[in-house]
Structure 1
């Protein structure tokens, strides 16, 4: 008999409260008035997503997000229970720490996904972003929050035919995979107007 991932994820404490409206609000990086939006569908356990975040996104940030030409909207597309739990914890981070926390989760992905206790490893990374173990437990076990994240994933499948991660919707163009920076330039530049 094999156990699914859900069966091996430990039960978590529910002591702390979760502000669902704030946790499930869209997460943007960059100037809210930027003329072009790039939506990223990503899973925190996806190695291609980690590659995008560590090697390609910094160049996009420098060329387009920092100058206010492009804003990035992060949408969760968890591929497994650990990605779902990590996304839930990240959504409980203060807005100013959300993207730095994602960057940290992606940079340390190989460590926490292979840890003996991945949930404990996720919580340890969360502590560096100011999320207590109690808050992390509350977020990772909040059924409404987990359902909300899964609805975001379902929306990606229905609205943009997302079937793998990372997938991006840049303005009117869809980009599948962690493509080189130059490929993103070819999609972004013509849409900047």
Structure 2
């Protein structure tokens, strides 16, 4: 029997209060740690709440640092598991600004910091633009099962597509997987449609909502938030600041 309207609305209100409280904490960190310039609508700012977060700044920072999974076998991560800086990236494959970051900035960060053992990048699927975003997220996870997540990531972001117009249909995603070097395409399709894929994607998305992410791309560089497809210089400043603090 479906829940009564009153119960359902109570759960929605409770979830909204939880997300709003988390957003207040993240917005406070953004205000005090780093001033953001959001270029060309690269992301919408997290909305500032009216009530102050009850936790101390040190407790907030510790909670954000604890989000890094540092799993050496995580196929959706690149870089040493014990790197001093972890950048968590919340992204959607249909987001044009996520694609801009993937093409223009991420390769430079990998060369300058990941390859030198300073930075680890951990991907989180954060699909917010509808059914094809959901399917692309599951496909990326499925490609990761065969060790080809980052190759699939590059294929998916190779160009900008209009949202929910078929660019991330099952056939198109399978073609991307093949181009990325996924060899067992039957298993890929099975994994993409599995409950395990849905659970993994929902885990990432819930984590993002819990820390107040409302738009993509959004990043945590250790405990430093960065919103939108910012310049390479903005990311470098955050990475170097986090690396210095971690010494």
Coordinate RMSD, CA, aligned: 2.3
- Inter-CA distance 137–95: structure 2 relative to 1 (3 Å threshold): closer
Deviation at 1:140, TM superposition (A): 2.6
Structure 2, unmatched stretches of 5+, are 1-73
Of stretches 32-41 and 101-110 in structure 1, the one that deviates more from structure 2 is 101-110
The reply on whether 1:103 has 2:170 as its aligned counterpart is no
Unaligned runs of 5+ in 1: 1-24
Q: 1:59 maps to which residue? A: 108
**Deviation of 1:188 (Å):** 1.1
Cα 1:32–1:151 change in 2 (3 A) is closer
Instruction: Work out whether residues 30 and 71 of structure 1, in 8 Å CA contact, stay in contact via their aligned partners in 2.
Output: yes
Relative distance call for 1:120 and 1:113 in structure 2 (3 A) is farther
Alignment of 1:140 with 2:192, yes or no, is yes
Looking at CA atoms only, which structure, 1 or 2, has the larger radius of gyration?
2
Question: Are the counterparts in 2 of residues 89 and 136 from structure 1 also a CA contact under 8 Å?
Answer: yes
SS at match of 2:121: strand
Find the aligned partners of 1:188 and 1:157 in 2 and give their Cα distance.
23
What does 1:12-161 correspond to in 2, within 5 Å? 27-79=76-128, 80-93=130-143, 94=145, 96-110=147-161, 114-115=165-166, 118-128=169-179, 129-158=181-210, 160-161=211-212
Number of residue pairs matched?
Answer: 169
SS of the equivalent of 2:241 reads helix
Contact 1:26–1:73, Cα closer than 8 Å, also in 2: no
Deviation at 1:116, TM superposition (A): 6.8
Q: Secondary structure at the match of 2:213?
A: coil
| More displaced 10-residue stretch of structure 1: 50-59 or 149-158 | 149-158
TM-score using structure 1 length? 0.78
Q: Distance in 2 between matches of 1:117 and 1:63?
A: 32
Q: Which residue of 2 aligns with 1:166?
A: 217
Asked whether the 8 Å contact 2:114–2:120 carries over to 1, the reply is yes
CA change 1:121–1:108 in 2 (3 A) is farther
